[in-house]
Amino acid sequence: MFSLEIYTLETRRRNKVLLLVIKASGEKEEFQPEKIRRTCLRSGAPEPIADKVVREVTERVYEGITTREILQMTISILEKEKPEIAALYDLKSAIMRLGPAGFPFETFVGELLREYGYQIKLRTIVSGACVNHEVDIIADEVSGSKLNHYMIECKYHNTGGIYTGLKEVLYTYARYLDLVEGWKVGKCERFDGAWLVCNTKTSLDAIQYAECKGLKLLCWKYPKNNGLEELIERKKLYPISILRTLDKHSLINFHQANLMLAKDVLKYELEDLEKITHLPREKLQNVVEESKKICFC
Going from the C-alpha of 285 to that of each of 34, 252, 274, 282, the distances in angstroms are 37, 18, 10, 5
For 161, the 3-state DSSP assignment is coil
pLDDT, tens digit (0-9, with 9 covering 90-100), for 58-75 = 999 999 999 989 999 999
Buried b (16+ CB within 10 A) or exposed e, 76-98: ebbbebbebbbbbbbbbbbbbbb
What's the CATH number of domain 239-295, 1.10.3470, 1.10.150, 2.60.40, 3.30.70? 1.10.150
| Contact criterion met (CB below 8 Å) for 93 and 231 | no
What integer pLDDT is reported at residue 16 of this predicted model?
44
pLDDT, tens digit (0-9, with 9 covering 90-100), for 45-62 = 999 999 999 999 999 999
pLDDT, tens digit (0-9, with 9 covering 90-100), for 100-126 = 656 799 999 999 999 999 999 999 999
What integer pLDDT is reported at residue 118 of this predicted model?
97
Which regions in the chain score pLDDT beneath 50? Answer: 1-2, 5-7, 9, 12-16
Beta-bridge partners for 197 = 154, 218
Q: Do 239-295 and 100-234 have the same topology in CATH?
A: no
pTM: 0.84
What integer pLDDT is reported at residue 3 of this predicted model?
52
Q: Output phi, psi for 221, to 5 deg.
A: 65, 20
Domain layout of the chain by residue ranges: 4-89, 100-234, 239-295
What's the CATH number of domain 100-234, 3.40.718.10, 3.30.450.20, 2.60.40.10, 3.40.1350.10? 3.40.1350.10
What integer pLDDT is reported at residue 10 of this predicted model?
53
Going from the C-alpha of 107 to that of each of 34, 103, 233, the distances in angstroms are 34, 6, 18
Give the list of residues 6+ apart from residue 77 with CB closer than 8 angstroms, or none. Answer: 52, 53, 56, 57
Task: Return the H-helix or E-strand segment holding 102.
Answer: none
